[in-house]
Amino acid sequence: MTVTADLGVSAQVDAGERIGVPRHVAVIMDGNGRWAVGRGLPRTEGHRAGVAALRRIVKHSAKRGVEILTLFSFSSENWNRPPAEVGFLMGLLERFVRRDLAEIHRQNVRVTMIGEREGLDPSILGLIEEGEALTRENTGMTLVVAFNYGGRNEIARAVKRLAADVAQGVIAPQDVNEDSISRYLDTAALPDPDLIIRTSGEQRLSNFLLWQAAYSEFYFADLHWPDFDECALDSAFEAFAARDRRFGGLSAKVAR
Ligand code: IPE
Ligand code: IPE
Ligand code: MG
């Protein structure tokens, strides 16, 4: 697989279908609750339907040749929801890992988590780490699960570790720069997202990938997450392919 890293576009295709597909796609899967309430169902049914959408999007992203798919599944602020909803979401994640991990592994997908691990329920963390270990050597798409994740929390944890390393003389203060900060983030091993999709019509980051989103393209879909399907993802990729990414410079079309 070859990659043109400068524009964040995966250049080559597995099955002839990767033209203009972003290399790293990050998704804020929003609107589960409203999807359910709109159908007269409890919010939890929306989360359940959201897992089905997640399965479809993982499969379709891999098929389209996305290299990295990051899914915002639970934010560091989502603990502020009613305990019953939080409990349901934790149970859902647990069941998802138990039921789907083998299939994800079979799809050659590598799973990794970003977010704060400290303080997480040990059984949930154990399952996630089991998934990471099982799929570590896989060579297909990387699925990044943003769980107990908040951009400010991530930056604060990074700065804390960086400060400790400065205090111990591992890194000199004058060597602290954008690259070294990036290396202390949970996303150290990942390129920045090329495309950030948010469903359900909201147009905000909600503390997602604050540092990494500096030059990401944004795509807001009016569909609630459970209704977001293969077609909707293709529409997002089409919109991305038509964007003119300049990174503060000049358009590739006029630069010469
Ligand atoms: C996204 O759907 C799922 C999580 C945040 C865990 P929501 O639960 O936020 O649904 P809305 O936005 O309330 O409709
Ligand atoms: C962002 O959605 C978090 C996830 C999708 C996991 P929220 O529903 O929590 O965001 P706000 O509260 O509407 O900003
Ligand atoms: Mg929401």
Ligand minimally distant from the alpha carbon of residue 225 = 1
Between 17 and 109, the more confident residue is: 109
Ligand 1 contacts (CB < 6 A) are: 29-34, 74, 78, 89, 200
Give the model's confidence band at 252: pLDDT under 50 very low, under 70 low, under 90 confident, else very high: confident
Residue 2: its pLDDT value, please? 39
Question: How far, in Å, is the centroid of ligand 1 from the Cα of 33?
Answer: 5
Angle between helices 83-106 and 43-64 (to 10 degrees): 30
As a whole number, mean pLDDT of residues 6-35 equals: 78
Give the model's confidence band at 256: pLDDT under 50 very low, under 70 low, under 90 confident, else very high: low
What amino acid positions are annotated as catalytic residues?
Answer: 30, 78
Average model confidence (pLDDT) across the chain: 93
Question: How far, in Å, is the centroid of ligand 3 from the Cα of 29?
Answer: 8
Give the model's confidence band at 4: pLDDT under 50 very low, under 70 low, under 90 confident, else very high: very low
Cα distance between residue 166 and residue 170, in whole Å = 6
Residue 246: its pLDDT value, please? 95
- Measured from the CB, is residue 29 less than 6 Å from ligand 2? yes
Pick the CATH number of 2-150+192-238 from 1.25.40.10, 3.40.1180.10, 3.30.230.70, 2.40.50.140: 3.40.1180.10
The alpha carbon of 40 is separated from its chain's Cα centroid by a whole number of angstroms, namely 30
Q: Are strands 110-114 and 68-75 parallel, antiparallel or unpaired?
A: unpaired
- Give the closest residue to 185 by CA, choosing from 207, 166, 164, 162: 162
Query: pLDDT over 70 for what percent of the chain?
Result: 92
Contacts with 136 (C-beta within 8 Å, 6 or more apart), sequence order: 110
Q: What is the CA radius of gyration of the chain?
A: 19
Question: How far, in Å, is the centroid of ligand 2 from the Cα of 8?
Answer: 26
- Phi first, then psi: give them for residue 230, nearest 5 degrees: -55, -40
How close are the terminal C-alpha atoms of the chain, in Å?
A: 28
Q: What is the pLDDT of residues 71-99, one digit of tens each?
A: 999 999 999 999 999 999 999 999 999 99
Local structure of 159: helix, strand or coil = helix
Residue 6: its pLDDT value, please? 53
